[in-house]
A and B are shown apart, each in its own frame.
Chain A
Amino acid sequence: DTAVSQTPKYLVTQMGNDKSIKCEQNLGHDTMYWYKQDSKKFLKIMFSYNNKELIINETVPNRFSPKSPDKAHLNLHINSLELGDSAVYFCASSQDFHTLPGELFFGEGSRLTVL
């Protein structure tokens, strides 16, 4: 039973389209994240939610909108896709800050290719 699952795993789409990536975790964690990994493998945090509340919103274009319907789900919607959005998007979750070590549990990643 996958702890953090993302769908779809692969996404190929045209510039200007809108797409969504879904993430679910069954670990009972309170905190969920979206990270973007670019072609140089650099992992950059985009958003973090704690129990449905937005905690971290890094410098990300407004075209990216996260939504957390409950603490087990964190979805990412991207409007008007651009070539530069091509990347692997990782969802992750962790327990609360006071529970050590507090490592991130990652999904398998969703590879987005914008043509």
Chain B
Amino acid sequence: AQKITQTQPGMFVQEKEAVTLDCTYDTSDPSYGLFWYKQPSSGEMIFLIYQGSYDQQNATEGRYSLNFQKARKSANLVISASQLGDSAMYFCAMREGLSGGYQKVTFGTGTKLQVIP
């Protein structure tokens, strides 16, 4: 079964508008973390935002915010005031604990966001 599901392979958004990228996850680990990464066409992986499973408040980083709904197991990324430079692939990822205190980070299939001028 998929651990991380991103159901939107592609999205379009008008410049200056807000956009929500969906992510749902599946884990039985009570302590986990959720990440969003951006991969522009140049290929590097850029860390955007993090939400811990015990965090009471939704994470925010500048124009990025994470809409964390624990009961629904969703961790959607909201980008406000989209800019042309936001055009990229966006990956949701989940960190789970392994025995021995180690961790494993699993990625979703990604959403390709295109910002239209």
Q: Which residues of A contact B (CB under 8 A)?
A: 31, 33, 35, 40-45, 48, 50, 55-56, 88, 90, 92, 94, 96-98, 100-106, 108-109
In chain B, residues 44-81, which have Cβ atoms closer than 8 Å to a Cβ of chain A? 44-45, 47, 50, 52
Other-chain residue from A43, A45, A109 in contact with B104 (beta carbon distance below 8 A): A45
Closest residue on chain A to residue B103 by CB atoms: A97
Q: Is the interface of A mostly helix, strand, loop or mixed?
A: strand
B101 touches A98 (CB 8 A): yes
What total of chain B residues lie within 8 Å of the partner, measured CB to CB? 25
Q: Mark B81-115, 1 if CB is under 8 A from A, else 0.
A: 00000000101010101101111111101100000
Inter-chain CB contacts under 8 Å: number: 65
A43 touches B52 (CB 8 A): no
29 A-B pairs with CB atoms under 8 Å apart are A33-B105, A41-B89, A41-B109, A42-B107, A42-B109, A43-B91, A45-B105, A45-B106, A55-B98, A55-B100, A55-B102, A56-B102, A97-B101, A97-B102, A97-B103, A100-B52, A101-B33, A101-B50, A101-B52, A102-B33, A102-B103, A103-B35, A103-B50, A104-B45, A104-B47, A108-B43, A108-B44, A109-B43, A109-B44
